[in-house]
Amino acid sequence: MTEYRLGILKGDDIGLEIVPVAVKVLQSAVERYKDIKINWVELPIGYPSYLETGETLPVKTLSKLYELDGWILGPIGHMAYPQNDPKAVNPHPILRKKFDLVSNIRPAKSYPFISSLHKEVDVVIIRENNEGFQPDRNMHKGLGEFMPTPDLALSVRVITKRNSEMAARAAFEIARQRNGMKKVSAIHKNTVFKLGCGLFIDTCREVAKEFPDISFETVVVDTFAMKLAMRPQNFDVVVTTNMFGDILTDLAAGLVGGLGMAPGLCVGPHYVMAQATHGSAPDIAGKQIANPYAMIMSAQMLLSWLGNQKGDISAIQASEDIVLGVEKVLNELRLVTPDLGGEASTEEMGTAICEAIKSMA
């Protein structure tokens, strides 16, 4: 019996609808295997937590997360938080930094009957998560952005060998696990950022030597953006720095149907967090029309990652069952939400996936 301690953090707006559906799907998959046990812990976060406790990220939530293997985090609508209250913080960059979630894994996959700009796309982009130009997480104290005069703004970009190596290693390990081309593409701009991107790409080359079974290439970021838009089928696993990855993963999502089709997983040496790429969509919250795909597949990635880390064959198989259940609903049953061309509610689409899993031999 392998036990997992997993947190449920619903987040804001549509998170209150899609996170329970993702948990329900994961439970349906795991129930088929008697040697897996999940201990669920629901914790307050986001604006509902602020209304209840006066904090968007309570200390008790942070403390409890250290006791878990991983957690599911719903979308955060931090732009609507009170701007002058220090207790109304944006939780997700704090979680990424505090729990050393260095690698942000974001797949983009097309499906035959889902409208998209490209078909036969199956690419995974690994984005370094805690450095780069992002000023809310690239310093130990303070922010990496400042204004010496009213007319001058400076932003500091941070690149370390340690985080670059962790992101690169995650990329090669994922390429080894996948059934794709067994290729890693490292994206950079060392033609301009000779030191920052130079350190990143040199580190990727060093890691590549440890994976002789995986082919490796480097691509300048602007060239890669063009190639990704024109022929995404040529890429398998991609690794890049924080800001480039933030932009390119949204581009990849746009190629396969939008951010509703963009799951994500943040991983580090000790913890893992399932977090869909999209926002909290307050305009459709409470209407039961939010697409749960990205959140469900983020939870699937969470189970798969933990299963691979623990060598748990049943957990890996349960995660693959989720993939098959999702594919059946998208490709055969077509029980999908309005953004995907269907008429199903969030709950109905999740239930259909659960039933598809349960009906498997």
288, 349: one domain: yes
Query: Quick one: 126 and 250 in the same domain?
Result: yes
- Residue 164 is predicted with a pLDDT of 98
Domain CATH for 168: 3.40.718.10
CA atoms of 194 and 214, how far apart (whole Å)? 26
User: Is residue 179 assigned to a domain?
Assistant: yes
Closest by alpha carbon to 266, among 302, 311, 242, 320? Answer: 302
Which pTM does this prediction carry?
Answer: 0.94
Q: Are 41 and 6 in contact (CB under 8 A)?
A: yes
Q: Check pLDDT > 80 for residue 361.
A: no
Do you know the residue count of the chain? 361
Q: Which domain holds residue 62?
A: 1-106+257-361
Kindly state whether residues 36 and 153 are assigned to the same domain.
no
Same domain, 121 and 205: yes
Count up the domains in the chain and report the number. 2
Residue-wise pLDDT tens digits, 152-191: 999 999 999 999 999 999 999 999 989 889 999 999 999 9
Segment 51-99, tens digit of pLDDT:
999 999 999 999 999 999 999 999 999 989 998 999 999 998 999 999 9
Task: Please state, in angstroms and rounded to a whole number, the distance separating the CA atoms of residues 327 and 360.
Answer: 13
Residues 82 and 205 in one domain: no
Q: Which of 98, 94, 121 is nearest to 255 (CA)?
A: 121
Domain identity same for 246 and 349: no
> Is 273 found in the same domain as 262?
yes
Residue 271 and residue 187 share a domain: no
* Alpha carbon 103 to its chain's center: 9
